[in-house]
Amino acid sequence: MTALPPNPAADTLARLEATIAARAGTDPDASYVARLLAKGVGKIAQKVGEEATETVIAAVSQDEAALTGEAADLLFHLMVLLRARGVPLAAVLAELDRREGTSGIAEKASRPRS
């Protein structure tokens, strides 16, 4: 089997997932992650929605640096939301792996008509 090349992006997200897990249940006054998790899924989901909106605004009206920052905020809050719902990053990555090579256009065309 051919070895896969190193994947720094996946490493970064895996480290972030471990940090988020380590913060769960710690002092909310000392950790933003702990504070978010203590607020529950509803509040975290709301934050993800807000960060998604800010990312969209940056994409259409701001520079690359602003978009990069908002995208990082969005990914971070999404990772906290996954933790709050008990969905491991590996499950999301496995779903992306499963989709690899399937054209979005072909997949949509294969859906049963409603």
Ligand X SMILES: N=c1c2ncn([C@@H]3O[C@H](COP(=O)(O)OP(=O)(O)OP(=O)(O)O)[C@@H](O)[C@H]3O)c2ncn1[C@@H]1O[C@H](COP(=O)(O)O)[C@@H](O)[C@H]1O
Q: Is 83 an interacting residue with respect to ligand X (CB under 6 A)? A: no
The size of the interface with ligand X (CB under 6 A), counted in residues, is: 10
| Percentages of the chain per state (helix, strand, coil), in multiples of 5 | 75, 0, 25
Q: Beta-carbon neighbour count of residue 104 at 10 Å? A: 8
Contact letters for ligand X, residues 40-59 (x by CB under 6 A): -------x------------
Closest by alpha carbon to 51, among 79, 10, 32?
A: 79
Q: Does 31 bind ligand X (CB under 6 A)?
A: yes
- Residue 55 corresponds to which amino acid? T
Which of 32, 40, 87, 102 lies at the binding interface for ligand X (CB under 6 A)? Answer: 32
When asked if residue 19 is in the footprint of ligand X (CB under 6 A), the reply is yes
Query: Of the ranges 25-33, 57-65, 84-92, 94-102, which one interacts with ligand X (CB under 6 A)?
Result: 25-33
16 or 92: CB nearest ligand X: 16
CA 24 – CA 38 distance, rounded (Å): 8
Distance of CA 82 to the CA centre of its chain: 7
